[in-house]
A = this chain, B = another copy of it.
Amino acid sequence: MADLTGFMAPKTPTGKSAIVPDMPWYYSGTLLTAEYRTDPANVAALLPEGLELADDDPGAVALIWADWQSCSASGAELLDPQRSQYLETFAVVRVKRGETTYTRCVAIWVTKDFAIARGWFQGYPKKLGSMAVTRVMNVGRAAPRLAPGARIGASLAAYDHRLASLVVTLEAESETNGFVNGHPMLHSRWMPSITPGAGNSMDQLITMSTTDAEIGATWRGDFDLELFDSPWDELASILPVHEKIGAYYREVGVTFNGGTLVHDQSNPAV
C-alpha cells in the first residue's frame, strides 16, 4: 500500500495536494481592529460550559479585519500568490478558565480554503466570506498615508449579504493594538459522530499562540461600525455595539507552529 502524506486532506504520495502544508506557517499582514463593549450577557451567551466571563471588562469585543499573506517554510506559496493571499474578519472576546484569561474567537469569515482548513485545525469557527480593507500606500490620492486623519474602510459579506461596514480614522501612533486579542487563544475543536445523535467523535479544548511576532507600524484611532445579520450569519444580534473603546491599525508578522491540548471530552467509540 501507499506511503501517503499531507498535513490535512487529501493525502497523496507527494503530499502536494494537501489543503494546507506542514507547519510552521508564516503570516505577514495588517490588522484593522475595532474594540467595543457589548452587554456582558451577550458574551456569556456564546461561551460553552466550563468557560466564564473575564474578570475585567467582560463585555469587551474586538472585531478584526486581517489582510494576510501566508506561506510554509519553503515560501513557494508566495510565488503563486493566489495560494498565499487571503483576508479574514473575526470577532474575539476574552474568557476565563480556572484562573487563566484567554482570548476566544466566536465568529470568523475567510476568503480561501486553506485558511478554512487551518482554522478548523486551530478551532477557529471559520466560514467563507467576502472582505475588503483599504490599503495604506506611500503615494497618490487614492490611498491614505499612515498619518493622523487617515481613514481606512473595511467590509464583510457572506452569501451576498453585507454583515459589517467599518471606517477607522487614525489619530496617533500607539504602543498597543488593543487588549481583547492579546491573550493565548482558547478554542474548541470538535467533530460530530458520523452516527446521527451519537455525540462528538472529537471534542477538545486547545490553546495556542503565535510566536516570533514582528511588529510594524501601529496606530490608534476612532471608528464607525455598522453590523448586520443575515438568515445565515449573526453579528448584529449576538455582538451589538454598546460603547466604543477604540480602533487600531497594525502591521504584523507571526509564526504558527501548533499549540497544546487543554481538555479532552472526545468519544472515539462513536
Interface residues of A (CB under 8 A from B): 1-2, 4, 7-14, 16-17, 19, 23, 26-29, 44-52, 68-71, 75-76, 78-85, 106-108, 112-113, 116, 120-123, 125-128, 130, 132-135, 137-144, 151, 153-157, 159-162, 165, 167, 188-196, 201-202, 204, 206, 208, 214-217, 231-234, 238, 251-255, 257-261, 264, 266, 268-270
Known: A138-B216, A260-B195. A46 touches B4 (CB 8 A): yes
The 13 sampled A-B contact pairs (Cβ below 8 Å) are A7-B192, A8-B192, A17-B232, A27-B142, A28-B137, A28-B141, A79-B167, A81-B132, A84-B134, A130-B160, A157-B160, A201-B261, A264-B269
Question: In whole angstroms, how far apart are the Cα atoms of A9 and B201 in the complex?
Answer: 15
Does A78 lie within 8 Å of B142, measured CB to CB? yes
Integer count of this chain's copies in the complex: 4
Q: Which residues from B are CB-within-8-Å of A51?
A: 1
Known: A8-B192, A83-B232, A155-B81. A134 touches B69 (CB 8 A): yes
